[in-house]
Amino acid sequence: MSNQACSLQAPVRHLFGPGPSPVHPRVYEAMRQPIVGHLDPFFFQVNEEIRGLLNLCFGTSNDFTMVISGTGSAGMETAVVNFIEPGSKVCIFANGYFSDRLTEMATRQRAQVVRLEKPWGEVFTDAEAEQFIAREKPAAVAFVQAETSTGAYQPGHGIACAAHAHGALVIMDCVTSLGGMPVDVDAAGIDIAYSGTQKALGCPPGLAPITVSPLALDWLRQRKTTPASWYLDLKLLLDYYESAHRYHHTAPISMFYALREALEIVKEEGLEARFARHKSNHEAFVAGLASLGLQMHVAPEHRLWTLNTPRVPEGSIDLEIRKRLMAGYSIEIAGGFGPLAGKVLRIGTMGYGSSAENVNLLLKALKSALA
């Protein structure tokens, strides 16, 4: 065996795109810990700690909170394959790329998909939600709380209230809000919420936290048909993670260590303090963008604190701005896509990356890239 130092040297980037976001040094340290087997009591202890800490971030007291081995899309697919049955009707609130992905997944499950559309960057009012759900009477509704393709925040309360009044389960994507903004699963009445590790939690990509309400769990237990995916079947996963600890798959142990540490950091900081940090850095960034002459795409009251979408200024080309930021400062940001292609920049101020120092760095770099 070779005793040489690691031969791989990755470049150091400032990750200010829509994710992955910068990883906290303590999380890197956790990933260097020796791995144990996927049936080792230590692993299950780490997993139990994760479940408790995740409930804090989700804002829930659900018993059923767990982690899917896979990225945020695996969380999305878990929600869809377990809670949307073939032939059943699902209402999707469509105002961005990730609600389109939900549509695609539900369609592949052969659900009857109905969409309420809004321009990218806008959100739905409670009255629109109520009308849509009352008219369609679906078995489930799905929406994206933090739409990373547009920078808009859709509060869940109105949608969930209307859905429950008409007996539908509520699925919410909180990939870009978890750990950076209020997710409020219990207060809003969300039945299934899923997320990813690589955004406001300050962890690498690779796991998808998910939480399920007692109501949805009852529904799942009574479900007669078998979900089309074996890997994402929550009933099988429960057997592995809960008391039976029956082998299901080989969990990515180092990622569990990473998430456990990232969540411990959230707890130490305190959720309210963490939200306040994200909000104030977002506001400082938006003020700085305004002084550079950049306008925001989303109305102030609907903006994410984690992901900012300034419009590309007249006469500038987004790709050129991004190239200059990378060449001059090793800064990664992203452009818009779909209807927002070439029209907005997508700039993340999230997790470990949300700091006054990074806001200053970003503004200085943008000023010179736009010059």
Ligand X SMILES: Cc1ncc(COP(=O)(O)O)c(C=O)c1O
Q: Applying CB under 6 A, which residues contact ligand X? A: 18-19, 71-73, 76, 98, 144, 146, 148, 173, 175-176, 196, 205
- CB closer to ligand X out of 160 and 369: 160
> CA geometry: angle at 177 spanning 175 and 212, to 5°?
60
In the complex, the smallest distance separating the C-beta of residue 142 from ligand X, rounded to whole angstroms, is 11
Exposure b/e, 79-109, CB count within 10 A at least 16 = b: bbbbbbbeebbbbbbbbbbbbbbbbebbeeb
Question: Cβ closer to ligand X: 95 or 358?
Answer: 95
Largest alpha-carbon pair distance within the chain? Answer: 67
Helices (H), 93-178: 97-108, 126-136, 157-165
Q: Which residue's CB atom is positioned nearest to ligand X?
A: 72
CB nearer to ligand X: give 192 or 369: 192
Q: How far is the CB of 179 from ligand X (least distance, A)?
A: 13
Considering the complex, state which of residue 130 and residue 335 has its C-beta at the smaller distance from ligand X. Answer: 335
Question: Tokens in use for 153?
Answer: 């925040």
Phi first, then psi: what are they for 231, rounded to 5°? -65, -35
Q: Which helix (H) or strand (E) holds 17?
A: none
Q: How far is the CB of 154 from ligand X (least distance, A)?
A: 11
Nearest-angstrom CA–CA distance, 99 and 84: 15
Are 148 and 121 in contact by the 8 Å Cβ rule? The answer is no
Q: How far is the CB of 198 from ligand X (least distance, A)?
A: 6
Decide: 11 and 332 in contact? Cβ < 8 Å.
no
Distance in Å, CB of 220 to ligand X, minimum: 21
Q: How far is the CB of 251 from ligand X (least distance, A)?
A: 17
Are the C-beta atoms of residues 170 and 144 closer than 8 Å to each other?
no
> 139 vs 350, which CB is nearer to ligand X?
350
Question: Would you say 53 or 178 has its CB closer to ligand X?
Answer: 178
- 200: its two tokens: 């406001």
| Phi, psi of 245, deg, nearest 5 | 50, 40
Considering beta carbons, is residue 44 or 336 the nearer one to ligand X?
Answer: 336
Residue 242: CB minimum distance to ligand X, A: 25
Say if CB 104 and CB 92 are below 8 A apart.
no
